Structure 1
């Protein structure tokens, strides 16, 4: 009977391990999230692993391949174990992770206002002030223009402190 197991991979070699495991006919799951990062001065969307250095693998060790064969796959360090035997991972966890990954990819950034839109700041040091939305500053903050002494000054404010 096929079961899910968790593999620990060499640092930065999860994709290689996944490729070699799939070449052996095994089903693999390597959850990734798309995050926005500033790389070389430019804002880019990058896929990053949800669990760095870990890959889920689905196979039946009785029908093959064996634990030893999987463990010796290029890029793999070892199974996650409790005692002498690799620990099984519940299939409910994999289903839940896959549904979360799908919902994250379907979700768009339509929650943030448009550039130039006026927003009330509800918390933090600028609570109660009207500010003008400029741009997103990563996942949790936004650049807002705040009127200070008759001059608009760009300020980074937590999104949770904004009345969106």
Structure 2
């Protein structure tokens, strides 16, 4: 069975994932913990890693079952076909989120446009292109995963 990307209404990712699980559809909504500040307090909240996206694993013939859940808008398409995410890519996302020690990743002197290969952390052995370098972080494009990674350095 393939992993597909479902586009949801804004801020409905967790609700859609819960509805899909209740219907017996295997799904994955990667969550990260962030500290949000209100005028009177700070609070840790779990927010989706990818806004308005939930990954679902089901057979091609069962793809329409997700539309029974409120909040599902459509599938994400790539080149006219529903985008398929490989199992390895889902595993990399899970592995990265499971690392709780905040693995430090250091990069030597790099410039925008350099092609590098990450040699440590959850994205080890992934090739990336440096998109931005600032005083506090690097922005890397991981083409094989189709995502942008922002990494702080100390």
Is this a same-fold pair by TM over 0.5? yes
Tell me how far apart the structure 2 counterparts of residues 61 and 107 of structure 1 sit (CA, whole Å). 38
**Residue 58 (structure 1) aligned with residue 57 (structure 2):** yes
1:39 shift after superposition: 2.2
Q: Deviations over 1:99-121 (max 9, x none)?
A: 11110xx227xx9xxxxxxxxxx
The structure 2 residue matched to 1:90, chosen from 69, 74, 86, is 86
1:49 shift after superposition: 1.1
Tell me how far apart the structure 2 counterparts of residues 27 and 10 of structure 1 sit (CA, whole Å). 19
1:84 shift after superposition: 4.3
The TM-score with structure 1 as length reference comes to: 0.57
- 4+ residue stretches of structure 1 with deviation over 3 A? none
Contact 1:71 1:79 in 2 (8 A): no
Contact 1:80 1:87 in 2 (8 A): yes
The structure 2 residue matched to 1:69, chosen from 52, 65, 79, is 65
1:68 shift after superposition: 2.2
Aligned residues: 107
Equivalent residue of 1:6, what SS?
strand
Which consecutive residues of structure 2, in runs of 5 or more, have no partner in the other structure?
105-135, 137-152
1:56 shift after superposition: 0.4
Question: Bigger radius of gyration, 1 or 2?
Answer: 1
Which consecutive residues of structure 1, in runs of 5 or more, have no partner in the other structure?
112-139, 141-158
- Please provide the CA RMSD for this pair: 2.4
1:67 shift after superposition: 2.0
